[in-house]
Chains A and B, each alone.
Chain A
Amino acid sequence: MCDACGCNPGTATASVAYKPMHDTATVSILRNLLQGNDEQAAHNRRHFDTCGVLAINLMSAPGSGKTSLLESTIDALQGTLRLAVIEGDLETENDARRIRAKGIPAVQITTGTACHLDAPMVHEALHAINLDSIDVLFIENVGNLVCPASFDLGQHCNVVLLSATEGDDKPAKYPVMFRAADLVVITKGDLLPCLDDFSPARARQNLRNLASHAPVLELSARRRDTLTPWVRWVRSAAAARRARVAQPAAVCASGQRGMQAPAA
C-alpha cells in the first residue's frame, strides 16, 4: 500500500455473518467505521516504536499557543532531545517556518478544508522525516477541539492545551477531546492575574468530572521558569519510550496509546 517505503499496513478482517434470503442478504459487520484510519495509525506507531521515537499529538483550539509552546520547548531543551515537528493547518507554511527557524526539522501538512489530521496524512509526512535521527516527534494538529480527538495518528500521548483566555469550562464543553488527553496544559498562564473569570481549579474539576486522571500543568510559553514541569514531563515520557523499545517484550505490547505517559 505504501509506495514510498514499501511497508504494508496490513489487511483488515471484519466480523461477518449473514442470513441469505434468495438474492438478498443482511450482512452483520460490527466493524469500526474508523478502522481504516486505525490500521494506518497502528502502522505509524510501529514505525515510531522501531526507531524508539516518542510521538506526541498536540491538540487545542486555534490560538491556544501550540506553536509558541513548541518554540519555547525547543529553546528550553537546548538540544538535549532531538526533535522533529509535523504541523497541521488548513493553509500556509507559517508554523513550519517558525519551527525551522529554531533549527528543528518541520513538515507542514496543509489540509485544505479538512479540520483535522488523520493517520494517512501523518504517514505521508513521515517519509520526509528521518525517524532514526530523532527522539521526539511533535504532531501539532489542526486547531480544533472537536474532530482531531476522533482520529488516531499513531501517537503515544495526547497533550491538550487550554489557554487561560478560553474559559475554564472547556473540558465540560468538549468532553470527547479532553477525555482523550494524557496531559492537559493550561497555557498563557502569565495572563491569569488579569483574568478573574478563569479558575485553574474549576478547569481541573471539569476535567475530573470526565473521570480523567490526566495531570494538569500551568505555564506560559513566554516565561521560561514556568516551563520546567512540562519539559520534565517530555523528558520523562521520551525516556520511558526508549526504555520500552530497549525491551523487546515491551515493544510488542506498545500498541496502546498513552500507556507510558508519566505523571506530571
Chain B
Amino acid sequence: MNEALNVATRHGASRVSAVRVRVGPLSGVVPALLQHAYPLTAAGTCAEGSELTIDKTAIRVRCGSCGAESEARPQRLLCQHCDSPRVTLLSGDELLLESVTLHGVRRFADIREGGHV
C-alpha cells in the first residue's frame, strides 16, 4: 500500500482506483489473505475503495541437466522430466507491484526513470 501511495504522490494524483500485484507461491504471501487485508490498509488513504487485482504466477523451473522447462509444486521443485535438482527458478517467487491506476494526475513523473515495461 505504501508503494502504491508513493506512486500517487510522485505523480501528483488525487486518487488511486486500482492496484495490480503479482504474487508467486514461493513469495511467502497468501493471495486470499492479501485480498482480505487490502481494504483495511487502504481505508483512510487516497486508495480507499480501490480495487486490488492479484496475478498469481505458477512455479516454473529450467533444468540444468536435461534443459527442459517445467511447472513445479512448492514442495517438489525438481525437474519434472528427469528429477534433477539442478534447476533454476524461472518464476514463482515474485512479490511485485505491477501497476497503479491513478486519477486526478497533475504531473507526469519522468518515464525514463527506469525504462519501459
Q: Which A residues are closer than 8 A to B by beta carbons?
A: 13-18, 20, 23-36, 146-147, 149-150, 171-173, 175-176, 179, 206, 208-213
Contact = CB atoms under 8 A, between A and B. Distances in A.
Contact of A16 (B18, B87, B101, B109): B109
Contacts of B27: 150, 176
A172 B74 CA distance: 8
A27 B11 contact: yes
B114 A33 contact: no
B115 A15 contact: yes
A27 B75 contact: no
Contacts, number: 120
Interface in B73-117: 74-78, 85-87, 95-106, 108-111, 113-117
Contacts of A16: 7, 109-111, 113-114
B75 A175 contact: yes
Nearest to B110: A16
A211 B106 CA distance: 49
B47 interface: no
B58 interface: no
A34 B95 contact: yes
B21 interface: yes
Contacts of A209: 75-78
B116 A213 contact: no
Q: Is the interface of B mostly helix, strand, loop or mixed?
A: loop
Contacts of B109: 16, 27
A18 B108 contact: yes
A166 B76 CA distance: 20
A102 to B, nearest CB: 33
A211 B61 contact: yes
Contacts of B44: none
Contacts of A210: 75-77
30 contacts: A15-B115, A15-B117, A16-B7, A16-B109, A16-B110, A16-B111, A17-B117, A18-B11, A18-B108, A18-B111, A20-B108, A26-B99, A26-B101, A27-B11, A29-B7, A30-B96, A33-B97, A34-B95, A36-B2, A146-B28, A147-B28, A149-B28, A175-B26, A209-B77, A210-B76, A210-B77, A211-B61, A211-B77, A211-B87, A212-B85
A211 B78 contact: yes
A19 to B, nearest CB: 10
A24 to B, nearest CB: 5
